[in-house]
Every structure is written in structure tokens, then in C-alpha cells.
Amino acid sequence: MIDSKYLVVDRPLWEGRQRLYRFENNFGASVVRHYGSYGGKEGLWELAVIKWSEEPRDPDYDFGDAFDPGAPDWRLVYDTPITDDVIGWLEESEIEPILLKIKSLNKYGQFDEE
């Protein structure tokens, strides 16, 4: 189970919702459900892998009401073994297994070989 300490933002977005997760490896996820997301109109979620800046998030940064992929503290990434795109049409129960995979990435965005 994903500890709630990793959920750093849970906010309204475009008549829907956005959750931002951040793990110790500085990767995380933007999980959204709104009218423009893949599956949002059906009540399903879309997940994007994100990379956080090494700098801590400014607690006074206002995410506002618009999606801001250029926010100073994170960016979307498309070069992990998890996906090279966003993952849409997700049921709530399908999100946590993906978050656990993101949490297990090394600092280079790859899985360590065993």
C-alpha cells in the first residue's frame, strides 16, 4: 500500500481532480481525472510519470486552477520502463500497482537488475 506521505498535492483540476505523488527517488506521478484526460468522461483516471526537481517544493507555490506542466518543481517524463506515454482509462484499483513500480525506479528512471 502506498503511504499517504507520498501524496503531496490533491487538488481540483478542470472540473475534476489531480493527485501528485513524490517518492524518495524523485520520481512520482500525476494522476488526473477531468474532462480532457483519457477516460475522464467515463470516471476513469489517467496517470503520467513525473520527475521532481532536486529542490524541495516551495510551500507557497500556487498551482492555481490550470494544469501547469511547466511548474518549477516537476515535469512529465516519457523514458521510463513503465511507459513512454501517459496511461489512461485506469480504474482506481489499477493506480497503486503502477505507483509501486514508479517508487521502485532508481534515480536514473530504470529498474535495478537483481
Q: For the chain, which residues make up each domain, given as ranges?
A: 4-103
Contact 17, 33 (CB under 8 A): yes
The per-residue pLDDT for range 21-39, each reduced to its tens digit, is 999 999 999 999 999 999 9
Q: Is the predicted pLDDT of residue 93 greater than 80, yes or no? A: yes
Kindly state the percentage of the chain with pLDDT values over 70. Answer: 82
Please indicate whether residue 67 or residue 21 has the higher confidence score (pLDDT).
21
Predicted pLDDT of residue 2: 85
Strand partners, 19: 10, 31
Q: Which among 77, 94, 79, 83 has a CA at the least distance from the CA of 33?
A: 94
- d(CA 64, CA 6) in angstroms, rounded, equals 21
Predicted pLDDT of residue 1: 82
Is the pTM here over 0.95, yes or no? no
Contact 71, 11 (CB under 8 A): no
Q: What is the mean pLDDT of residues 99-105?
A: 96
Predicted pLDDT of residue 73: 80
pLDDT band with cut points at 50, 70 and 90 for residue 44: very high
- d(CA 18, CA 94) in angstroms, rounded, equals 16
Q: Which among 29, 28, 48 has a CA at the least distance from the CA of 88?
A: 48
